[in-house]
Amino acid sequence: MAEYTDHDGGAGDDVPDLSDSDNEEQWQWMEEANDNNFQVTCLFCDKMSNSVPETLQHCLVEHQVNLVEVVKKHKLDDYGYIKMINYIRTEKCSGQSLSTLPECSIPWESDEYMRPALQDDPILQIDLEELCEGMGMLAEPSTGSQCEASHSSDALLQRAQAAEERAQRTEEALARAMDDLHKLKLLAQGLVLNADVGRGTGALGAVAELREDEDEAYFSSYGHYSIHEEMLKDTVRTESYRDFMYLNPEVFKDKVVLDVGCGTGILSMFAARAGAKMVIGVDQSEIIYQAMDIVRSNQLQDRVTLIKGRIEEVKLPVEKVDIIISEWMGYFLLFESMLDSVLYARDLYLAEGGSVYPDRCTISLAAVGDTEKHQGRIAFWDDVYGFKMACMKRAVVPEAVVQVLKPDTLISKPAVIQGIDCNAVCLSELEFASDFCLKITESTDCTAIVGYFDIFFDRDCGNKVVFSTGPQVTKTHWKQTVFLLENPIPVQAGEELQGRITVRKNKKDPRSLFITFDLHDMKQTYSLQ
């Protein structure tokens, strides 16, 4: 799960210092030549040259490959050119095989070839239009004298080197501009998050309407390897998904499967091994590049296709899928609002008769009697080294606590307060209010309410699988969500503790939650963010 982030503050910060952009020379081509003392590796052999033009001329003479002709033949744009260069370096493509490719065959269409095969590859930094113009002259010299041809070639090399210098200076200016833009973006986000305005609730939902820069922190948190290690080592979670797929191969046989938020690709590979004929994994975080390597390492690239991007923005290679799998659950089930993205994919891509898995889930509450924990976190502020700090309770109590609860602190039977059918639920139903009744099992003080969820793989399954995140069973990385009461409530065994819970998204940050309890003449709103 994503680490907690502080969304307060920022509006009152000083405007950040920006780079000095008054000097127009930073944004214009400079006349001085930069140091171009670097080595360029040939695309087809280990030959090292001192410049890109020299390398391209080597490719033409020694390997009979005219890159311009290849670009024109396959009608490549800038992105197609980048993919082609990375494909050649990654797959060790020969000059002959590249030149003989038919027009209709482009083996580098996959987005995985947008990832540079060679760090800071100079051949990727040249301008495609100038490449076409220059290499065209080189491949088709005039019929004049040998001296004229040599002069034309020298002029071409000079132009190409000048283009390299301009590109390098452009990159430096762009880096400064991007730094300025990032500073302004942080300032603007602080102003927006602290403004007293709510996000509109359009037809797509608040999460789908988030801009990429607004959602950057969420996806960046999943780019860290440690979070994926934690999830993979959660055997309750991972083995439940594995068992569901491996024990129900008839559900996956020859099916097209979409994995929303695929992470390291573990669920995609489970689905492929279970018999799916095609699996499409989508993830916006940087972990997708490791997932591509993982899929190739397990020889599943013929059945598993991975796409980087938000499911709301990417285009799938198919119109419909038979199954959608996703591990979308957050703390208290709905934190992070990833289910919104799964429902978006369901409504857009799921074929008639298809299914989302897990297909059913529930949220439960129970009463907690843990005087020691309450004393350590809440009553502690009444007397701190002889000083009264009770005002701190107003800041501490509203923070929901994610922790592993001791089972012996439960003092009631659990009560299900919400059930979700992932194949039928509407987006609006993910914000709800529900009355609940907790049957007390022990006479003591109720110091908190705990929430957790259960997950079901049920629909069309001959071997049904279920797992729980409750305190009575093996712990998971979701732990439990504890809502501490400022003032404990005395309860007696056999009585019923009645209340009402309201769950809604934070309008300023739709991935976080506000959870309100009306309980025993007390009303308290908790934040989970």
Catalytic residues: 327, 336
Q: How many CA atoms, within 13 angstroms, populate the side-chain half-sphere of residue 348?
A: 17
In b/e form, how buried is each residue of 43-58, taking b as 16+ CB within 10 angstroms? bbeeeebebbbbbbbb
Beta bridge partners of 521: none
The whole-angstrom separation of Cα 163 and Cα 170 is 10
Per DSSP (E only), the strands in 67-215 are none
For 481, phi then psi, to 5°, come to -110, 120
The whole-angstrom separation of Cα 271 and Cα 277 is 9
**DSSP-assigned letter for residue 101:** -
Is the Cβ–Cβ distance between 267 and 328 less than 8 Å? no
Tokens 């907790």 belong to residue:
438
Q: Which helix (H) or strand (E) holds 340?
A: helix 338-349
CA neighbor of 282 nearest in space, from 349, 217, 234: 349
Q: Taking each helix axis as running N to C, give the angle between helix 146-194 and helix 52-63, from 0 to 180 degrees, rounded to the nearest 10.
A: 120
Tokens for 366? 């129970």
Tokens for 111? 């987005």
Please classify residue 255 by burial: count the beta carbons closer than 10 Å to its beta carbon, then call 0-12 exposed, 13-18 middle and 19+ buried: buried
Give me the DSSP letters along 31-44: SSPP-----EE-SS
Is the Cβ–Cβ distance between 325 and 350 less than 8 Å? no
- Residue 281 CB neighbour total at 10 angstroms: 28
∠ CA 240-286-199, nearest 5°, is: 85
Please classify residue 236 by burial: count the beta carbons closer than 10 Å to its beta carbon, then call 0-12 exposed, 13-18 middle and 19+ buried: middle
Tokens 């899929």 belong to residue:
295
Is the Cβ–Cβ distance between 258 and 324 less than 8 Å? yes
